[in-house]
Amino acid sequence: MKITIKMIAEKAGVSAGTVDRVLHNRPNVKPEVRERVEKVIQELDYQPNKAARALAYRDNYKQLAIVFPSWSGYFRRDIEHGIADAEENLSDFGVSVQPYIYDQRNHKQCLDILDALQRSHVNGIALCAENSVLIREKINDLHEQHIPVVTFNSDIADSKRICFVGQETLRSGRVAAEILSKYLRDGEETLVVLGNYEYSGHKARVDGFLQRFDEISVPRERFHIIECYNEYTITFDKVYDALAANPNIRFIYMANRSVTACAEVLRRMGLAGKIRVVCHDVTDTICQLLREGVVDFTIEQDLYAQGYRPLMILGDMLMSRRIPERRYQYTALNIINAENVEYLK
């Protein structure tokens, strides 16, 4: 049965004009009346015609922002593909999207962008940032000003963000541990390389990795953890020093993006193919390292979805005024090795 505005009006005890004002987010509706109408709309699962909605919103322009670090290569390309598709889908409804990019190690630059967006009264923000006190406070300030924030790639769960879109990073770390646990023998040690602890995505991967080994009673002293900030030179030097100092290291878990630095160390030390490596993502370089046998496994994350879905969630909130029911919207965890890398799109 097709649900009509008239049916909603009758059930809510209001006029059809009031329902129309609620649907189009127009003023002059009492808060308690708006809440009652929205509840009926949700109960009846009313889905307005897309073309009609587009006409209604076309003259009421909205601005969304997406804020993320200055990634390059595969990360930047796939995120931007998702952003472009979201913007195309939302443009019919009078919603535009503006990307803002900051240096991942420049915490103040990210905060300055968020401050400027707050002053401009942007209608929603998709955000990838470190989980710090200042970022959490800024998200909470934005929430109080009715500017919703959806986090992606790295979550800030202890803030008033609307939801998170991205890899379940704790689980991805556990998956990496499960793979390596099948090879680990007594006396063998593992080098764990992360970006930085403040970036919750990296920290959660390492937490999940160690958590799984705790469950199977592998002592913590068999793991060496180094922090490399996703910098090639820092990663190269610290991995080289760790391997030189610890001949029992037979496994490396790369919980950051500087996999090429690790691979170069292994080649120079004659250890490529002798030390097993598990990492994340499917950059062109990592795919080649899989083919060469320098990397054994990588765990894929859907970066396209991380650019697309946060903006579509915010766009839907602008149009329907509904907060998404799922506060965590995880992307798939796919394990890639030399045998299936050729099947990637």
* Contact (CB, 8 A) for 140 and 162: no
pTM of the model: 0.73
- Structure confidence at residue 53 as a pLDDT band (50, 70, 90): low
Paired sense of beta strands 189-194 and 249-255, if any: parallel
- Structure confidence at residue 35 as a pLDDT band (50, 70, 90): confident
Question: In sequence order, what are the residues at sequence separation of 6 or more whose Cβ sits closer than 8 angstroms to the Cβ of residue 304?
Answer: 78, 79, 81, 82
C-alpha 56/C-alpha 111 separation (Å) is: 34
With helix as H, strand as E and coil as C, how does 84-116 read?
HHHHHHHHCCCEEEEEEEECCCCHHHHHHHHHH
pLDDT average, residue stretch 302-316: 94
Question: In sequence order, what are the residues at sequence separation of 6 or more whose Cβ sits closer than 8 angstroms to the Cβ of residue 294?
Answer: 263, 266, 267, 272, 273, 277
Q: What does the pLDDT look like over 230-254, one tens digit per residue?
A: 899 999 999 999 999 999 999 999 9
- Region at 13 (left for phi over 0; alpha for psi -120 to 50; beta for the rest): left
What mean pLDDT is reported for the chain? 89
* Contact (CB, 8 A) for 108 and 102: no
Task: Tell me which H or E stretch contains 326.
Answer: none
pLDDT average, residue stretch 103-108: 86
C-alpha 217/C-alpha 13 separation (Å) is: 63
pLDDT of residue 250: 97
Residue 166 has pLDDT above 90, yes or no: yes
- Region at 106 (left for phi over 0; alpha for psi -120 to 50; beta for the rest): beta
pLDDT average, residue stretch 34-41: 85
Residue 114 has pLDDT above 60, yes or no: yes
pLDDT average, residue stretch 255-274: 95
Which range has highest mean pLDDT (50-59, 81-90, 171-180)?
171-180
* Contact (CB, 8 A) for 119 and 112: no
C-alpha 223/C-alpha 210 separation (Å) is: 9
pLDDT of residue 64: 97
234: number of Cβ within 10 Å:
15
pLDDT of residue 24: 67
